Structure 1
Amino acid sequence: MTLTDAAARDAVASALAAPPARLGVAVSGGSDSLALLHILHDWATGTGTALYVVTVNHGLRPEAAEEAEMVRRVANDLGHDHTILTWHWDGTGNLPDRARRARYALMADWAAAGDIPEIALGHTADDLAETLLMRLARGAGVDGLAAMNARRRQGQVTFLRPLLSLRRPDLRALLTRRGVTWADDPSNDDPQYDRARARAALTALEPLGLTVESLATSARNLARARDTLSAAAAAQVAGMVRAEAGDLVIPADQFAALPAETRRRALLAAIRWVAGGDYPPRGAAMLRLMDAVAAGKPMALSGCLFATARGELRIGREPAAVAGLVCPPGTDWDDRWRLEGPEIKGLSIRATGESGLALCTDWRETSLPRTTLLAAPAVWKGDTLVAAPLAGRPEGWSATCLRNVKQYLSCFSAH
Structure 2
Amino acid sequence: MSATDDILAAAFRCLEAEPSLRGLGLAVSGGGDSMALLHAMAGPARERGIAIRVATVDHGLRDGARAEAERVARDCAALGLPHEILDWTGWEGRGNLQDAARQARRALLAEWAGRHGLEAVALGHTLDDQAETVLMRLARGSGVDGLSAMSALRREDGIAWLRPFLGLRRETLRAWLSERNLGWDEDPSNADPRFQRVRARTALQELAPLGIAAQGLADTAQRMTMAREALEALAADLSGRALRLRAGAVEIDAALLARAPEETRLRLVSAAIGWIAGRAYRPRLASLQAGLQGAGQGRWRSLSGVMLAERGGRLWLCREPGRAGGPVAADALWDGRWRLDPPPAEAEAGGLRLGALGAAGLAGLPGWRDTGLPRQALLASPALWRDDALLAAPCVDPAGPFAARIVAEFPYPTLPH
TM-score, scaled relative to structure 1: 0.90
**Amino acid in the other structure paired with 1:369:** P
Aligned 8 A contact 2:305 2:320 in 1: yes
The alignment status of 1:221 with 2:223, answered yes or no, reads yes
> Which residue of the other structure, out of 397, 400, 405, is the alignment partner of 2:402?
397
Aligned 8 A contact 1:362 1:392 in 2: no
**Partners of 2:408 and 2:132 in 1: how far apart?**
36
Give the structure 2 partner of residue 13 of structure 1.
12
Across the aligned residues of Structure 1 and Structure 2, the Cα RMSD in angstroms comes to 2.4
Aligned 8 A contact 1:360 1:393 in 2: no
Instruction: Name stretches of at least 5 consecutive residues in structure 2 with no aligned partner.
Output: none
Give per-residue Cα distances to partners, 1:194-233, cap 9 Å, x unaligned. Answer: 1111111222222332221121111101111111111122
Q: CA deviation at 1:136?
A: 1.1
Aligned 8 A contact 2:3 2:176 in 1: yes
Give the structure 2 partner of residue 65 of structure 1.
66
Number of residues paired by the alignment?
Answer: 408
> Which residue of the other structure, out of 137, 140, 156, is the alignment partner of 1:138?
140
Rate the CA distance shift 1:140–1:2 in 2: closer, same or farther, 3 A.
same
Give per-residue Cα distances to partners, 1:251-289, cap 9 Å, x unaligned. Answer: 223322322111110112112332333333344443443
Rate the CA distance shift 1:156–1:382 in 2: closer, same or farther, 3 A.
farther
Q: CA deviation at 1:335?
A: 2.8
Rate the CA distance shift 1:173–1:43 in 2: closer, same or farther, 3 A.
same
**Partners of 1:45 and 1:367 in 2: how far apart?**
56
**Partners of 1:279 and 1:56 in 2: how far apart?**
23
TM-score, scaled relative to structure 2: 0.90
> Which residue of the other structure, out of 353, 362, 368, is the alignment partner of 1:357?
362
Aligned 8 A contact 2:73 2:83 in 1: yes
2:383 counterpart SS class? strand
Aligned 8 A contact 2:276 2:318 in 1: yes
Rate the CA distance shift 1:171–1:408 in 2: closer, same or farther, 3 A.
closer
The alignment status of 1:371 with 2:372, answered yes or no, reads no
Written as runs of structure 1 = structure 2, the 5 A alignment for 1:263-412 is 263-329=265-331, 334-340=336-342, 343=345, 344-346=348-350, 347-392=352-397, 395-401=400-406, 407-409=410-412
**Partners of 1:79 and 1:410 in 2: how far apart?**
45
Give the structure 1 partner of residue 151 of structure 2.
149
Q: Bigger shift: 97-106 or 291-300?
A: 291-300
Aligned 8 A contact 2:395 2:404 in 1: yes
Aligned 8 A contact 1:387 1:393 in 2: no
Rate the CA distance shift 1:336–1:151 in 2: closer, same or farther, 3 A.
farther
**Partners of 1:402 and 1:326 in 2: how far apart?**
16
**Partners of 1:117 and 1:327 in 2: how far apart?**
29
Q: CA deviation at 1:34?
A: 0.8
Instruction: Name stretches of at least 5 consecutive residues in structure 1 with no aligned partner.
Output: none
Q: CA deviation at 1:296?
A: 4.0
Rate the CA distance shift 1:277–1:54 in 2: closer, same or farther, 3 A.
farther
Q: Percent identity?
A: 44
Give the structure 2 partner of residue 128 of structure 1.
130
Q: CA deviation at 1:153?
A: 2.6
